[in-house]
Chains A and B, each alone.
Chain A
């Protein structure tokens, strides 16, 4: 018999307490996942680790697909017609040779990509043990999915591939990330991601008026992008993510690069800005003589469920039942892959933390138990099928 709504909400604090008993396995999984480097397109070792954990948990249909995703299914009582995807990204932005060592203090962990997104993966592989520990058995199958090629130039390729090719009917998707607990996303913002590169060739005419190297040319591009008139509605923003170029002092830079996102509530508006950026690059190239090229390699359509949708509403009520103030945050990642295929999805975060100056992430341990109780609540709600009642 399905638990009723009040029953689920009132059980959450007890679940949180019981989850604390699994602190060591959860943290051990988090440490071990975090210490396996997994730059985008080089995720195989992490995927093997996930599969080993899936096997140890007795999951079914454990496999990798053509792109290298790791998947395992925890069967529900009802079988193949009801499937919930719990998903986390496998890849990280850090190179293999970076120091992936994790430090564990009594109240926190510090390491590269612990929050984004090793904790998501640790949640995935601890979930079967957690359900067993609490004596919970769902009606629906849980499809535990670690996706590769998610970030940067990966552009959610792993998740898109799985959703395009799976034959399983999917009830909902639950992307899990490390931080910040309390923030939930159910709508994707439209996004175009690209890289602008400036190159000054060897045969460049340095006597030409305005000739000053690749960084100056890139600066021209940035000034022009900042001058693009943007409407206040629908909202749109241009985010400069990183910039690099040049060598030491006193040498004219021959190369420079800028990585940027164009984000908008409107897919059409994002496309319009993208075309303006292309025009700007061509114009600066013509004026300065530098080779200015732009490569837009990732594109996401806006979409997702509404504020009043059952899943969004449940997400808020579950957080409130755990004494956590819900914060709605737009998603720039996996929600769009689900919404493109009309699958309702709710992105959750498991704990609180911060990114330190050395790029390492510091995660608080205590809030993780609430974060996991939140995940259980959401899974129980989806499993109970309250959508049908709406």
Chain B
């Protein structure tokens, strides 16, 4: 499929899916269940609104969702309390598959959600979205319901960054534009058509999710894109414009850490795919510098992108889903 054709046929605006009644009927016709997973870590300011809107609009008013779950990494604020008070199922990541240990990272929560949640489709939505709206879910689910070939639907936005003097009209996705798209351009040009490969909102069929390995840190979205692309091709993807997404802006220093984790995953995938020859041992230590008075100080962070295996290979999961019968 040509990139232009893919862009034309697989890129949507959420407004084309406005008819929620039709969407619910389609879901019922296909006898599918849909779970929403919200990975959290200290998100008390935004989690309440997300739960209220999704529960009211997409469970009660239009029963598109069968389950709303928060998978928490050990919040120290009132995230879990707030989510539970508004009716979400709240799970602590370290209590899911405890025999496999506990890793810290968003990818860990996403991976464990596959075990914990019941849906045939899982929708992942970040918890830090200030202007949350039901479109964040139905805009991602609809391409899966209307096209059986679609496996993985990504969100994209006109991302404003919050500033003290109001909201700047656009300009987010710095890591995408500085790191990811140049890398895709070099190695996998078809993937450059995915407008925001790092967006934290996507909907995926269970068969696909359970076959993917999960980096537990910053590289999870990048790994997914590459792995789905190599296994199912570009036609497995769709993307939906969800208009604006207001969220906390990250410091450049934090984006450096994110890029460091993503680069590790990217190099590892290139090696696996034979696209680059073996590179010598990579030290998983990121060095950043800060000035203090007239001296410069080096700060080093160890960021090692560990990966969880495909869930389909986990015996407890196979048992839970009855896959060995």
Contacts and interface: CB of A to CB of B under 8 A. Distances in A.
Given A56-B61, A101-B131, A106 B55 contact: no
A105 B60 CA distance: 21
B53 A28 contact: yes
Given A24-B86, A27-B56, A35-B131, A103 B45 contact: yes
Nearest to A25: B56
A78 interface: no
B48 A104 contact: yes
Nearest to A101: B130
Contacts of A97: 166-167
Main secondary structure of the interface of B (DSSP, over half): helix
B53 A106 contact: no
Contacts of B85: 106
Contacts of B52: 24, 27-28, 31, 104
Interface string B103-147: 000000000000000000000000000110100000000000000
B57 A105 contact: no
Interface in B52-69: 52-53, 55-57, 60-61
Interface string A1-41: 00000000000000000000000110111011001000000
Contacts of B167: 97, 99
Contacts of A103: 45-46, 48-49, 130
A156 interface: no
A106 B49 contact: no
B55 A24 contact: yes
A381 interface: no
A24 B48 contact: no
A294 B225 CA distance: 64
B257 interface: no
A102 interface: yes
Interface in A99-137: 99, 101-106
A24 B56 contact: yes
Interface string B64-88: 0000000000000010011001110
Contacts of B86: 24, 104, 106
B246 interface: yes
A31 B130 contact: no
Contacts of A101: 130-131, 246
Given A24-B87, A25-B61, A56-B61, A104 B55 contact: no
Given A24-B86, A31-B53, A106 B130 contact: no
Contacts of B49: 31, 102-104
Contacts of B133: 32, 35
Contact of A28 (B56, B78, B81): B56
A254 B301 CA distance: 57
A24 B82 contact: no
A361 to B, nearest CB: 16
A105 B77 CA distance: 12
A98 B78 CA distance: 28
Contacts of B45: 103, 105
A132 to B, nearest CB: 13
A104 B53 CA distance: 11
A56 B52 CA distance: 18
Interface in A129-148: none
Interface string A62-92: 0000000000000000000000000000000
A25 B82 contact: no
Given A35-B131, A99-B166, A99-B167, A105 B53 contact: no
A321 to B, nearest CB: 28
Contacts of B131: 35, 101
Interface in A32-58: 32, 35, 56
B82 A105 contact: yes
Contacts of A31: 49, 52-53
Nearest to B21: A56
A316 B246 CA distance: 44
Interface in B125-182: 130-131, 133, 166-167
A97 B61 CA distance: 30
A106 B133 CA distance: 19
Nearest to B53: A28
Nearest to A30: B52
B173 to A, nearest CB: 20
Contacts of A35: 131, 133
Contacts of B60: 24-25
B88 to A, nearest CB: 11
Given A24-B87, A27-B52, A31-B52, A106 B57 contact: no
Nearest to A98: B166
Interface of A: 24-25, 27-29, 31-32, 35, 56, 97-99, 101-106
5 contacts: A31-B52, A97-B166, A101-B131, A103-B45, A103-B130
Given A101-B131, A106-B82, A106-B85, 12 more contacts: A24-B56, A24-B87, A28-B52, A31-B52, A31-B53, A32-B133, A35-B131, A97-B167, A99-B167, A103-B46, A103-B48, A104-B49
Please provide the 9 A-B residue pairs with the shortest distance between their CB atoms, ordered closest to farther.
A28-B56, A104-B48, A104-B49, A24-B56, A101-B130, A25-B56, A27-B52, A106-B82, A28-B53
